[in-house]
Every structure is written in C-alpha cells, then in structure tokens.
Amino acid sequence: MDSAGTAGLGNLLLRLFFRRLFIPYLVLICLAIAGVGAFAGVRLRSTYLEGRRQGLRNELHLVAGMVRDDLDTGRVAELGERIKGLGRELNCRITVIRGNGMVLADNWADPATMENHANRPEILGAIRAGEAYQTRYSGTIHEDMLYLAKHMELPTGRYYLRLAVSAGELRGQLRVLYAGLTGAAVVTMAVAGLIVFLFARRHSEPIVELTGVAEAIARGELKRRSMTDEGGEIGALARALNTMADAIGQLLAQAEQGKAELLTILASMSEGVIATDGQQCIRLVNEAAGRLLGFAAEQANGKVLWQVVRNDRMIKAASEVMAGGESRVVETGPIGGRHVEVRLSRYRSRGEAEGLVVVAYDTTHLVRYQELRKEFVANVSHELRTPLSVVRGFAETLADGAMRDPVKGPEYLGAILRHTEQLTNLVNDLLALSRLESQPELPRRAKVDLGAAGRKIVEMLLPAAQKKGQTLTVDVAAGLPSVVGDPDYLERGIANLVDNAIKYTGEGGKIEVGVRADDQNVVVEVRDNGIGIPAANLGRIFERFYRVDRSRSREMGGTGLGLAIVKHVAQVHGGAVEVESEVAKGSVFRMIVPGRWEEG
C-alpha cells in the first residue's frame, strides 16, 4: 500500500474512532444535560410558581388587613380607591366580593358590569378551605390568570378577597428562566462536546498510528516502529507491536539466511532437485534439474511439473506417487546426450498439504561404464578366444601325429609359441592397465630424466625398426627439467608409442622421437610417416581394445591396449596425451608430463 493509501486508511480509522468515541459520548452527555435541564426546569417552574403563590398569599393578607376597616364601616367608595392604589403598587388585580357573589370593587374592571362571582372556582374553593388557588381564563379581561381567593368573616357580613396576576406574565418570566437554563445547557453541551472531541482525538490518534505501523509491518517495512509514549493499554499494545516487529524481523532474517543457504546448497549440487506443492506446482528448482531434464530452471517456478518436464514416464510416475503410491525410481534418457535416473517421493508441507520431491541423478557415466564393461568383457573374450583356438588347434594336430612330421611339427610348434606370447602380452597389458586404474597413487616416485628414458627406448627398439628398413631417430632438447614419477611406467608409455609407430609405419618409413620442454611440462613426441588414422577414429584410439583395422592389428601382434596404457600413464602422472594424424601421411603422438619436482 502506498502513502496515499496509508493516509486514506488513517483518515478512515480516525472517522471510525470518532464515530465510536466522539458521537456516543457526546450524545450521552447531551442526553444527561438535557435530562438535568428538564428536571431543573420542572423544579424551577415549581419553585417559581410556589414562590409566586406565597407572594400572592402575603399580598393577599396585607390587602385584607387594609380593606378590613372599610368593609366594617361600609365605606365602599373609599374601598374602590384604596384597591386601585394597592393594585398599582402590587401590580396585580384585586377584587372584593360579597358573600352572595356580587362584586364590590375591582381595580381592573367596573364592578357594575361584572357578573356574579359566587360560582367562580376560586370562590368555591375559598368557601370550602378558606383559601384557594386557581389558574383559568378570565372572561372579564379575556386572558389566563392566576387567582388566589380568601374567605373573610366580618361583623358586617361575609366577604371574599381575591388577588390575581396574569398567567401570560408568569409564562413570560418562566420563558426567561427557561431561556437562561437552555443557554446554560447549550454552553455546557458545547464545552462537553469540545472535551469529548479532544478526548476522542487524544485516544484515536495513537490507535491510528499503531494501525499505520501494523500496515507497514504487513508490507514488509520491518524497521517501522511505534513512537507513541502512551501509557496503559495503548502503551502496552505499542510495545507489544514493536516487540512483534523485532521478532518478525529476526525470523525473516533467519528464514532468508536459511533460504540463501538452501539455494546455495542446491546450486552447488550436481543432482537435480525439484520441489512441488500438492498440485504439482513447482516451488523450488535448481540449475542441475533444468540441465539434466532439459528445461530452463529460471523460468520453471510457479509452473506445473508437466509444463516443464516433457517425459511421459516421469509425469505418470509423479501422478501415481501423489495419488498415494510409494516412492518411484524412473530411468529416462538420453536427454541431451545424458542418461538420468529420477527418484520421486512425497513430503508434507507445513504438516498439511502433501508435495512432491524429484531428485534427478546423472547416470551417464554409469551407463557408459556398463557399456564399456560389456565391451571390455566382449573384447577380452574375443582377444583370448582367437589365440587359444589356434593354440588348441595346433596342439590337437600335433597330438594326432603331426609332431613326427619333420616340416609341419616345427611349424606348428612355432605358431603355438607365437600365440602363447600374444596371450602373455595381452595378460601383461591387462594387469598393467588394471594397476594404473586401481592405484590412486604411484607405487613409487622418483626423479626421472625423460630424455634419457627416450634414448633408452629408441636404442631398445632400434633392431625392430631396422628389420623393417625404417629410420628411427631421437632428439632430446638441452636443459630438460626432470619429472617426478614411476620410471617403469614412464618408460612403458614411451615404448608403447614407439612400438605403435614401428608397427603402423611401412617398410623404409621414418620415425622421429623428440623430447622437449613446453612451459612447465616435458613433452615426448613420436612422429611417423605411416598409414595414418582417419579423423573419425581419432577420438577413440585411446580406448581399450579399440582398433582402426582389427585384422591388420591382430596380424601385427597388437593387443589393443597399448595406447590405453599410454593415456593412463600420462594421467596418473598428472599429464595428458594428444594425437594428430592424417591418412597416408602419418601421425604425431604426444605424451605430456608436468616437469615439476614433488617430494614423495
């Protein structure tokens, strides 16, 4: 979420908290103030009316005392004037009524025009109780009035004294009181609303800030922290949120480190690894898997297994394993020239959904080894069967009487000796090759002069070359470094190269042996102008029993292991072999050995 989204969320939360804090508290306070105001209004009205009634009673008693003498003496004219003066001073209506209901005096109306008041409610109440209040509409002055009447027993007769004030005036005074009370309530509500507003804002802002921190943590901003200094529950929540962010950061760092270590391990593995979820959607894959199974590993994440691996047997096995079957092993290939063995197993992801683990092994070398083993057994069997068959045939012939033949006997014995020697050479070469392959280190190490070894081999094989009319020379460069190795093996390698050149070079051919230094290496080079090797065969001539022309090689007494021995001699000494050849022009073989002295 961007900053605008966060601000929008903050405003939304602020409005939400205002609705949940400000409005309820404000309504509650307003209702409380309104209730108190209503109660106060009722009490104020009651108190005011009671006070006004008490005032009327006091005024009534005052007026009664002042008109008593006039009533006792019968001075009605003076009574009217006195009532008008008292009414102006007291600001009220004063009425004097005889016991029969006739009005004697009234300061607001003419008594002569007024009706008989014997049946007025306040007069009836005064007859019963001596004094009575009544609020009613006055037909004389046409407005609502508050009346207070008093029964008076005098020597001259029974009278009723009545005081009245306008109810409209009372209501006006009450309205003034109510207005003041309402104003006070409004001011109180405003002050309470401001307090509630500040309270709501004070409590909502930290929560909005904590929400922003939580949103930032959810987006992965694990360095974001709450800076609120609130106490109580909000402060505890802020501290818990910061602690949670620290813990999540540590867990994610550990997870990232573990993931990096896992990816490093997977990247360094020669085996291919694929991990999928329960729907066979690839979640983890290394480069080796893509290389072995023929797909782009960097584009495989998130895809279904069958979308990247185009092998029906493997996909079928994966479906069977995911359906509840046991682990399966599937051999595929060749894929890109490689043979691959794939092992498929189920695993549980987070203890719930099952996934699939695919481990691919490159078995090309094993397949090639099996093929070589079969070929080796076949070649050894073939190489042994031919001379053994010849030896047996000649031996049976001699046993049948040819031994006594002066011509055939010696001839057959010579053939038996030649093939026996061939068998011996084959067995010796096999033993030498087996020792070279099985021994990780040389049986003995010494300082060897390859120049002297080259001269020795040339001198030893010179008679064989002269027998075919060939020229065999040796050229040793000056200042050659010595090499560290097994003298017998090194001499055997040089001898095989020279002997091979003699065999495949025709009568009168030329063979040159050179020993020179090349950087840090010593190179033994054997060059001839013999029959040469076709380009198609150059890559295999160092394999065991490989012959370009099998019949010709067998006639020359070769075992097919000479060049294989040369290659292994060079390799066991940390070197290599090279060959250049052209048909009918000759060949150049090089055995390269590091020219460094190593303590052994």
Full set of structural domains in the chain with CATH: 7-173 (3.30.450.20), 271-362 (3.30.450.20), 373-433 (1.10.287.130), 440-594 (3.30.565.10)
Start-to-end CA span in the chain (Å): 69
Those residues whose C-beta lies under 8 Å from the C-beta of residue 211, and which sit 6 or more positions away, are 9, 10, 13
Residues 330 and 244 sit within 8 Å (Cβ to Cβ): no
Could you give the CA distance from residue 306 to residue 212 in angstroms, rounded to a whole number?
A: 44
- Mean of the per-residue pLDDT values of the chain: 80
Paired tokens of 555: 């006639």
Mean pLDDT score, 153-181: 78
Beta carbons of 195 and 158 less than 8 angstroms apart: no
Query: What are 102-115's pLDDT values in tens digits?
Result: 988 888 888 888 88
Please tell me which residue, 571 or 80, carries the higher pLDDT value.
Answer: 571
Q: Given this model, what pLDDT does residue 317 score?
A: 85
Q: Is the pLDDT of residue 598 over 50?
A: no
**Per-residue confidence (pLDDT) for residue 71, from 0 to 100:** 80
Question: Does the bond joining 24 to the residue before it have cis omega, within 30 degrees of 0?
Answer: no
Answer yes or no: is pLDDT of 312 > 70. Answer: yes
- What is this structure's pTM? 0.45
**Of residues 131, 8, 2, the one with CA closest to residue 60:** 131
Question: What are residue 21's phi and psi, to 5 degrees?
Answer: -110, -55
pLDDT at res. 349 = 59
Tell me the per-residue pLDDT of 229-243, one tens digit each, with 9 for 90 and over. Answer: 666 676 777 778 778
pLDDT of residue 508: 93
Task: Give the confidence band of 169 by pLDDT, cuts at 50, 70, 90.
Answer: low
Rounded to an integer, what distance in angstroms lies between the CA atom of residue 267 and that of residue 427? 46
Residue 139 has a CB neighbour count (10 Å cut-off) of: 9
Number of H helices, E strands in the chain: 15, 17
Sign of torsion, CA 317 319 323 324? positive
Environment class of 323 (CB within 10 Å of its CB; exposed 0-12, middle 13-18, buried 19+): exposed
pLDDT at residue number 136: 80
28: pLDDT confidence band, cut at 50, 70 and 90? confident
- 15 confidence band (pLDDT: 50, 70, 90): low
Token duo for residue 299: 């584009």
**Distance from C-alpha of 395 to C-alpha of 353, rounded to nearest angstrom:** 76
pLDDT of 1: 45
pLDDT band with cut points at 50, 70 and 90 for residue 20: low
What is the model's pLDDT at position 449?
92
Quote the distance between the C-alpha of residue 426 and its chain's center: 65
Residues 412/394, Cβ–Cβ less than 8 Å: yes
Q: Cβ-count burial of 398 within 10 angstroms (0-12 exposed, 13-18 middle, 19+ buried)? A: middle
Whole-number Cα distances in Å, 229 to 201, 207, 214, 233: 15, 12, 17, 12
**Helix (H), strand (E) at residue 454:** helix 450-467
Per-residue pLDDT at 433: 67
Where residue 336 falls (left for φ over 0; alpha for ψ -120 to 50; beta otherwise) is left
Residue 281 C-beta-side C-alpha neighbours within 13 Å: 7
Give the C-alpha separation, 593 to 482, whole Å. 10
Residue 292 is given by DSSP the state: H
Report the pLDDT averaged over residues 34-40: 77
In the chain, % of residues over pLDDT 90: 15
